[in-house]
Amino acid sequence: MGSNPIGPTTGHHGRTWVPPPDNHVHSQWSHDTGPRASMTAACERAIELGIPSVAFTEHLDFTTAGPGDALRATGIAPNAQPRRPFDIAGYLAGVGECRDRYPALRIMSGVEAGEPHLFAGSATAVLGSGQFDRVLGSVHTLPSGGRLVYASSLLDGRSAPRVMRRYFTEVLALIEGSSLFEVLAHLDFPRRYWPAAAGEYTEGAFEEEYRAVLRALARSGRVVEINTASPLASAGLLRWWREAGGRAVSFGSDAHLPGQVGQRFRDAAGVAAAAGFRPGRDPLDFWRL
């Protein structure tokens, strides 16, 4: 992935194509990255590719339910997978150091809030500081056996379609139950782990569910992400987004290693363009209609 040639190049009519901002990047401050993760190396990769802006949206997940968290009233336990807590002070210091070191690159602070509709009190306590420029909302887990577990762990050849529909129902609950985020990350996350035994994944098989999620997101005035770590959304799916009233898309590599920053952005930009989305005058902005 480190050799993906997506930097500025001269395209049709002699215009220089600039990659869109990467609004979904993880560094050493996320709990699921390893020793090769590096905020500085991610910045250097972005500069190498001509990406104008990166948002370090580190995971904001909770293993306990605190005051104001809706999960407390359900009797469902949080995900118990061991993870180190988010070192907010260390993270923000790292962002500041990178801003000083790479002044030509717009570096945004941020978080990927996991299930903020279930952890509203806990998430608000972190986000209320106002120190985060970009907030993504995501669903990674579903209830199973009285506990939240990663949706990917529930997939098998027979259950995959049912799990996928449960996932979309939870994403809809996220949108309708939380106003803490601006961008919906990887709206079909389990697709990333779709088992071969379940047959080919087709967006059309879940059109009703996709459209319900996209309508709710559009009504809220928020933005859908084209996640390039997942199987790419099709131009047809982004047309459903347009038909639902969606007006903007965000690009996110979901990079957990520096070499993954900006991965497949040229392909993703082609899909977005085919659905009618274009970069604005400000290269740091979302792509819009």
pLDDT digits (tens, 9 = 90+) for 211-226: 999 999 999 999 999 9
- Residue 94 domain flag: yes
Phi, psi of 51 (to 5 degrees): -75, 130
Q: Determine the Cα–Cα distance for residues 47 and 119; give it in Å rounded to an integer.
A: 35
CATH code at 61?
Answer: 3.20.20.140
- Residue 140 domain flag: yes
Q: How many distinct structural domains can be found in the chain?
A: 1
Q: Which domain holds residue 78?
A: 16-288
- Residue 265 domain flag: yes
- With b for 16 or more beta-carbon neighbours within 10 A and e for fewer, the 218-238 pattern comes to beeebbbbbbbbbebbeeebb
- Residue 8 domain flag: no
1 or 286: which leads in pLDDT: 286
- Residue 80 domain flag: yes
- Residue 121 domain flag: yes
Tens of pLDDT, residue by residue over 164-173, are: 999 999 999 9
Tens of pLDDT, residue by residue over 96-154, are: 999 999 999 999 999 999 999 999 999 999 999 889 999 999 999 999 999 999 999 99
CA distances from 256 to 84, 152, 198, 203 (A): 16, 18, 27, 26
pLDDT at 6: 46
- Residue 6 domain flag: no
- Residue 146 domain flag: yes
